[in-house]
């Protein structure tokens, strides 16, 4: 049984679009050519892969199985291209890592710095995502390793502990909340909030929690970093919810007070996730071992 890589990529496009024409457009070929290639692919595997419907196409069980394996094959091919390109530039390896906001602004930079000091010819493609998006990306072989937190379905993944970094409320010294040791998230909603930009993991995470309480969370200002949030908080513009590690760093040089959140979701137990049963590159395995052995005190 022979599989053409172009046909596999075309099939993935068609499956993701649920439409043959849009899949063909993504593959930059005509509708007729796409239809012929999908028919030849079905002939090659000996079974139909799609249900043809007036409004598009839908995968049958055989198509679902092919989609799963095609994504993994294409990811490995993409890894091969990147690795060989890296080798041509003097880089000796490449790892794709997805992480949530809390880890990126907490222990992860220090952990990656010490790893890259040991492997100076390695490159790491780090991207920020929401935890549930990371889990989906790992399942679909879009990344090697993920770092997540919160109540996320991780069935089918291997998990290892990385760090704990709670979310806290940051307020100016002298603020009415500054004397509180703990506070509920819902009790902060009368205050103007400052947040990361729209589309960032934390900015997407908090508003649904407010809606679950029958409230709304409208950010007064959205800025590009936790440092900017803390500067505006110090100036009295509003309050912010950020990771404890970041808050502690900025509180050393700014007039800030930290208030713990009582809500269970504020405790961010960070986990390293990878696909169960997947043969990860040796370098990715080494990074997992390094992250699992790293502790936040090396960074904070």
Residue 278: per-residue pLDDT: 67
Which is more confident, 278 or 174?
A: 174
pLDDT at 295: 62
- Per DSSP bridges, beta strands 193-195 and 167-172 are unpaired
Cα–Cα distances in Å, from 254 out to 235, 245, 297? 10, 14, 21
Q: What is the mean pLDDT of residues 159-172?
A: 94
Give the pLDDT score at 213.
Answer: 92
91-159+272-298 fold: D-Maltodextrin-Binding Protein; domain 2 (3.40.190)
What integer pLDDT is reported at residue 120 of this predicted model?
84
Least confident among 8-12, 147-151, 153-157: 147-151
- Residue-range domain boundaries for the chain: 5-72, 91-159+272-298, 167-266
Residue percentage of the chain with pLDDT more than 90 = 54
What topology does CATH give the domain 5-72? Arc Repressor Mutant, subunit A (1.10.10)
List pLDDT tens digits, range 197-213: 887 878 888 999 999 99
Is there a common fold for 5-72 and 91-159+272-298? Answer: no
Mean pLDDT of 273-277: 88
Q: Listing from the earlier edge strand, what are the strands of the sheet with 122-128?
A: 122-128, 93-99, 145-148, 269-275, 157-164
pLDDT value at residue 299: 43
249-258 pLDDT, tens digit each: 999 999 999 9
Q: Does domain 167-266 have CATH number 3.40.190.10?
A: yes
**Confidence bin at 296 (pLDDT 50/70/90):** very low
298 has pLDDT over 60: no
What does the pLDDT read at residue 122? 83
Look at residue 297 in the predicted model and tell me its pLDDT.
45
pLDDT tens-place string over residues 88-123: 555 467 889 999 888 888 889 999 999 999 888 888
Distance (Å, rounded) from C-alpha 74 to C-alpha 8?
A: 8
Strands across the sheet with 182-183, in order? 182-183, 256-261, 167-172, 239-243, 193-195, 219-222
Start-to-end CA distance of the chain, whole Å, equals 54
Q: What pLDDT, in 10s, does the model give residues 212-268?
A: 999 999 899 999 899 999 999 999 999 999 999 899 999 999 999 999 999 999 988
* Residue corresponding to tokens 């000996």: 46
Instruction: Note the pLDDT tens digit of each residue in 33-57.
Output: 999 999 999 888 889 999 888 888 9
Percent of the chain with pLDDT over 70: 93
pTM for the whole structure: 0.61
The residues near 236 (Cβ < 8 Å, ≥ 6 apart) are 172
- The DSSP secondary structure of the chain, one letter per residue, reads ----HHHHHHHHHHHHHT-HHHHHHHHTS-HHHHHHHHHHHHHHHTS--EEEETTEEEE-HHHHHHHHHHHHHHHHHHHHHHHHHHHHTT--EEEEEEE-HHHHTTTHHHHHHHHHHH-TTEEEEEEE--HHHHHHHHHTTS-SEEEE-SS---TTEEEEEEEE--EEEEEETT-TTTT-SEE-GGGGTTSPEEESPTTSHHHHHHHHHHHHTT----EEEE-SSHHHHHHHHHTTS-EEEEEHHHHHHHHTTS-EEEEEE-SGGGS-EEEEEEETT----HHHHHHHHHHHT--GGGT-
Chain-wide mean pLDDT for the chain? 88
């Amino acid at each position: 049984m022979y599989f053409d890589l172009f046909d596999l990529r075309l099939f993935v496009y068609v499956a993701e679009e649920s439409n043959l024409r849009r899949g063909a457009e993504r593959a930059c070929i005509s509708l007729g050519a796409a239809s012929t290639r999908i028919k030849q692919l079905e002939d090659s595997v000996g079974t139909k892969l799609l249900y043809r419907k007036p409004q598009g196409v839908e995968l049958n069980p055989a198509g679902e199985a092919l989609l799963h394996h095609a994504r993994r094959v294409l990811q490995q091919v993409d890894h091969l291209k990147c690795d060989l390109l890296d080798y041509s530039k003097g880089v000796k390896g490449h790892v794709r890592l997805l992480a949530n906001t809390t880890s990126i602004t907490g222990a992860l930079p220090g952990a990656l710095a010490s790893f890259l000091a040991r492997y100076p010819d390695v490159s790491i493609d780090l991207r920020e995502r929401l935890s549930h998006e990371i889990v989906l990306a790992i399942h679909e072989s879009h990344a090697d390793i993920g770092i997540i937190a919160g109540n996320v379905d991780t069935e089918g993944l291997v998990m290892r502990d990385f760090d704990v970094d709670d979310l806290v409320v940051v307020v100016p010294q002298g603020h009415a909340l500054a004397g509180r040791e703990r506070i509920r998230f819902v009790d902060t909603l009368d205050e103007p909030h400052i947040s990361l930009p729209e589309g960032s993991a934390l900015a997407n995470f908090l508003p649904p929690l407010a809606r679950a309480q029958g409230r709304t969370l409208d950010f007064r200002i959205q800025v590009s970093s936790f440092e900017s949030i803390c500067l505006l908080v110090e100036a009295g513009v509003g309050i912010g919810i950020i990771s404890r590690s970041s808050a502690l760093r900025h509180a050393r040089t700014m007039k800030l007070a930290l208030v713990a959140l009582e809500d269970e979701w504020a405790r961010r137990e960070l986990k390293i996730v990878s696909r169960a049963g997947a043969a990860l590159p040796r370098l990715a395995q080494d990074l997992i071992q390094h992250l699992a052995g790293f502790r936040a005190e090396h960074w904070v």
